[in-house]
Chain A
Amino acid sequence: MKIIGTAEGKKLYVHLIGELDHHSAKKTRDDIDRLLMNSYITELTIDMKDVSFMDSSGLGVILGRYKILAERKGSVRICGANRSVDKILRMSGIYSLVERS
């Protein structure tokens, strides 16, 4: 998993490239959390257009980041999910917590 983060003011944009499973979840989580250490970041966008595979470990990563942002009264947005990634996001009900675009 390759993670490219771009921060601009209170916004953090994270581009994930690769497969998001249990194996890559720890690195993904740690990398995003390092970027989130700046406590003024309140808007996280996760771009998933280059995520070729995701299972429930990925849901755990997103939910964990949602909790961090919710504590800051911020928000999480997911964009670019392909059909199979979108299917698991939909079935989990995560779209009631994070925005989809």
Chain B
Amino acid sequence: MFDNEIHLSFMSKSQNEGFARMVASSFVSQLDPTIEELSDIRTAVSEAVTNAVIHGYDNKNGTIYMDCYCEGKTVTITIRDDGNGIDDVELAMQPFYTSKPNLDRSGMGFSVMEAFMDKISVESEPNVGTTVTMVKTIDSSGAYVKEKQDE
């Protein structure tokens, strides 16, 4: 049982990338994160949702699901699509690898998620979809500063 959770589904439109990272960052705010932790989570969510829009659904209409859970100081975020899936997850996660080199993509999406979160896992099946699960534990120093101010 989690302390708190939210479940969201939205259309795979690029406008919703900003919406998704804003929702995730609002949800995580309850754990008193530092500005840097919040920004890390916003960036990782943006990467996962962007992948779902561009690669999962090829910029066509589809539904993206975002679930956020918190337990203690640990937040778990899953981003799921029912799209194309990834043939070779290991290859897709290589830094600078992009399946769409003509699109000016950096190929750094998964590397950013790995660098900015504590743990990420990717489950994918061709023509079924992809689920990215990201976990980050919030350092309690943010909360500490707040408690000190409250005294």
Which A residues are within 8 Å of any B CB, using their own CB?
19, 21-23, 25, 29, 53-57, 59-61, 63-64, 83-84, 87-88, 91-92
Query: Apart from A56-B111, A84-B36, what 5 extra A-B contacts exist at CB < 8 Å?
Result: A19-B18, A22-B14, A56-B109, A83-B36, A88-B112
Asked if B43 and A88 sit within 8 Å, CB to CB, the answer is yes
A60 & B15 in contact (Cβ 8 Å cutoff):
no
A92 contacts across to B, CB distance below 8 A: 106, 108, 111-112
In contact, B104 and A55 (Cβ under 8 angstroms): no
Interface residues on B, range: 20 to 34
Contact of B106 with A60 in the complex, beta carbons under 8 Å: yes
* Smallest CB-CB A-B distances: 3 pairs: A23-B14, A59-B106, A84-B39
**Chain A residues, CB < 8 A from B15:** 23
Q: Is the interface of A mostly helix, strand, loop or mixed?
A: helix
Q: Which residue of A lies closest to B42 (CB)?
A: A53
Within 8 A of A (CB), among B70-109: 103-109
Name B's interface SS.
helix
Interface flags for B53-78 (1: CB within 8 Å of A; 0: not) read 11000000000000000000000000
Bound complex: CA A53 to CA B18 (Å): 10
A65, chain B: closest CB distance, angstroms: 9
Indicate if the CB atoms of A55 and B115 lie closer than 8 Å.
Answer: no
| Cβ contact within 8 Å between A22 and B106 | no
A57 with B50: CB separation less than 8 A? yes
Rounded to whole Å, the gap between the CB of B134 and the closest CB of chain A is 14
* Cα–Cα distance between A64 and B18 once the two chains are bound (Å): 23
- Among B18, B107, B108, contact of A21 (Cβ-Cβ < 8 Å): B18
* CB within 8 Å for A84 and B18 given contacts A29-B104, A56-B109: no
Contact B43 A22 (CB under 8 A): no
Q: In whole angstroms, how far apart are the Cα atoms of A87 and B43 in the complex?
A: 11
- Interface hub of A56, A63, A64, A87 (most chain B Cβ within 10 A): A56
> What are the residues of chain A within 8 A of B130 when measuring CB–CB?
none
Residue of B with least CB distance to A92: B108
Contact with A along B13-57 (1 / 0, CB 8 A): 011011001000000000000011001101100110010011000
